[in-house]
């Protein structure tokens, strides 16, 4: 009869040793020390990029997209907004119109140019109270006067615009220009800038209305083109020539982007004798 043998296994603890626990904690601590700054930097970078996009979008609402014929708030109202909320709230601002009879006065705008508030110039999923805050929840800084007029500023991660190290600003270059230069040459019967010539320019005023004419006339020996400083947006130009009791008139609309110079030639014909 064979004897029964029982095989025994080496004893092993069912838990972790203290050394193993310490090693795991050390590895976790190293990973945390490495990953937390990376995660924090990633979050900060995301907020910075989001805020940069927001301030650029707000500034674009002010100046529009001139390449697409849109001159934004500045082109419609003839000025920078007093506060950013004017971009989304009409309030007492003059509504968009093409005729003075729409509010006070009489007669259509020269050239049919429309002026006045036609916002909102900004739309989005956020309520107005959040629309002009940065990614850290702090209100954006803005003013329509002084050295930084028109510039939109976020205080960055520290929320302090006085410490400029992490500020996010747009546009960076100052001053923010609100006017451009319009150069007009009038040719009557193939004669440039003849005597008896008057040019009127009608542009948007700071009230959001089309203002009175800025008028220039040729001198007896003047052949120099007319130069006008006009606000960002569309101006109406009316050229009038009178000679021998005959008057001819032509009106054109000219878009001018702030900070640029635009030259236009107006060609006219008349039955009168044109003097050089």
What pLDDT score was predicted for residue 38?
56
In a domain, 4, yes or no: no
Q: Which structural domain range is residue 80 located in?
A: 39-170
Report the range of poorest mean pLDDT among 2-11, 19-28, 199-208. Answer: 2-11
DSSP output for the chain: -PPP--PPPPP--SS--HHHHHHHHHHHHHHHHHHHHHHHHHHHHHHHHHHHHHHHHHHHHHH-BGGGTB-HHHHHHSS--SSGGGGT--TTSPBPBSBGGGTSS-SBPGGG--BSB---S---SS-HHHHTB-TTSPBPEE-SSSTTTT-EEE-GGGT-TTSGGG-EEES-SSSPP-EEEEEEEEEETTEES-TTEEEEEE-B-TTSSB-PPEEEE--TT--SPEEEEEESEEEEEEEEEEETTEEEEEEEEEEE-TT-EEEEEEEE--SSPPP-
Number of domains, the chain? 2
- Residue with the bigger pLDDT between 39 and 160: it is 160
Residues 143 and 232 in one domain: no
pTM of the predicted structure, to 2 decimals:
0.81
pLDDT tens-digit readout, 202-257? 999 999 999 999 999 886 556 789 999 999 999 999 999 999 999 999 999 999 99
Q: CATH no. for residue 203?
A: 2.60.40.10
Segment 33-91, tens digit of pLDDT: 766 665 556 656 778 899 999 999 999 999 999 999 999 999 999 999 999 999 999 99
Please report whether residue 15 resides in a domain.
no
- Looking at 109, 137, 170, the residue that finishes a domain is 170
**Do 155 and 207 fall into the same domain?**
no
For residue 17, is it within any domain?
no
Residues 210 and 244 in one domain: yes
């Amino acid at each position: 009869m064979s004897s029964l043998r029982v095989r025994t296994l080496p004893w092993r603890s069912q838990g972790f040793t203290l050394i193993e626990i310490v090693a795991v904690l050390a590895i976790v601590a190293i990973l945390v020390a490495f990953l937390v700054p990376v995660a924090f930097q990633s979050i900060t970078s995301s907020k910075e990029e989001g805020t940069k996009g927001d301030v650029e979008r707000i500034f674009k609402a002010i100046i529009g997209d001139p390449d697409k014929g849109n001159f934004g708030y500045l082109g419609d109202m003839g000025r920078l907004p007093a506060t950013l909320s004017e971009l989304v709230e009409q309030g007492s601002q003059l509504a968009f119109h093409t005729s003075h009879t729409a509010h006070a006065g009489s007669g259509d705008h020269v050239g049919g140019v429309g002026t006045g508030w036609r916002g909102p110039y900004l739309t989005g999923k956020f309520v107005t109270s959040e629309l002009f805050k940065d990614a850290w929840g702090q209100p954006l800084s803005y003013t329509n006067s002084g050295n930084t007029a028109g510039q939109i500023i976020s205080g960055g991660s520290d929320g302090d615009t006085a410490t400029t190290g992490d500020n996010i600003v747009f546009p960076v270059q100052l001053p923010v220009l609100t006017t451009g230069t319009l150069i007009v040459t009038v040719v009557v019967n193939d004669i440039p800038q003849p005597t008896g010539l008057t040019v009127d320019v009608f542009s948007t005023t700071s009230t959001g209305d089309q203002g009175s004419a800025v008028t220039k006339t040729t001198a007896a020996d003047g052949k120099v083109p007319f130069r006008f400083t006009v606000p960002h947006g569309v101006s109406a130009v009316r050229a009038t020539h009178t000679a021998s009791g005959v008057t001819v008139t032509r009106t054109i609309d000219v878009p001018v982007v702030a900070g640029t110079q635009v030259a236009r030639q107006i060609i006219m014909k008349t039955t009168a004798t044109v003097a050089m």
